[in-house]
Amino acid sequence: DARVTQTPRHKVTEMGQEVTMRCQPILGHNTVFWYRQTMMQGLELLAYFRNRAPLDDSGMPKDRFSAEMPDATLATLKIQPSEPRDSAVYFCASGLVQLAGTYNEQFFGPGTRLTVL
């Protein structure tokens, strides 16, 4: 039963600390997305990768957020330094884009609930 995994599931940290969230996409998927969910803003797309290359990170605060895919089995989202307003649930999703113009469903991980004090 293939699924997206995320670690950690919960993270409580203090303002100014570095936070790293990890995601293992489904094997064979070529697209990885990072989302942030809050009550106020809903689901926001932060960044996404195609074949490990970053395609768009315009939704991410560049000064403190960074996203990478060191290899096909690992995507990371880092916040440095963290701030209380970063408190949210961060989701990773993966999908398979096969043909130009054909886009299918995304498979979401369970999320990382981040609390910055």
Partner 1 sequence: SQQGEEDPQALSIQEGENATMNCSYKTSINNLQWYRQNSGRGLVHLILIRSNEREKHSGRLRVTLDTSKKSSSLLITASRAADTASYFCATVYGSSNTGKLIFGQGTTLQVKP
Beta-sheet pairing, 112-116 with 10-13: parallel
Shortest distance, position 91 Cβ to partner 1, whole Å:
6
> Is 95 a binder of partner 1 (CB under 8 A)?
yes
Residues 6+ apart with CB under 8 A from 43: 35, 36, 37, 91
Closest approach, Cβ 12 to partner 1, in A, equals 16
Tokens of 113: 């609930």
Which one of residues 13, 20, 29, 45 is an interface residue with partner 1 (CB under 8 A)?
Answer: 45
- Report the residue number, 81 or 110, with the smaller CB distance to partner 1: 110
Q: Contact with partner 1 (CB under 8 A): which of 1, 63, 71, 105?
A: 105
Q: Is residue 24 a contact point for partner 1 (CB under 8 A)?
A: no
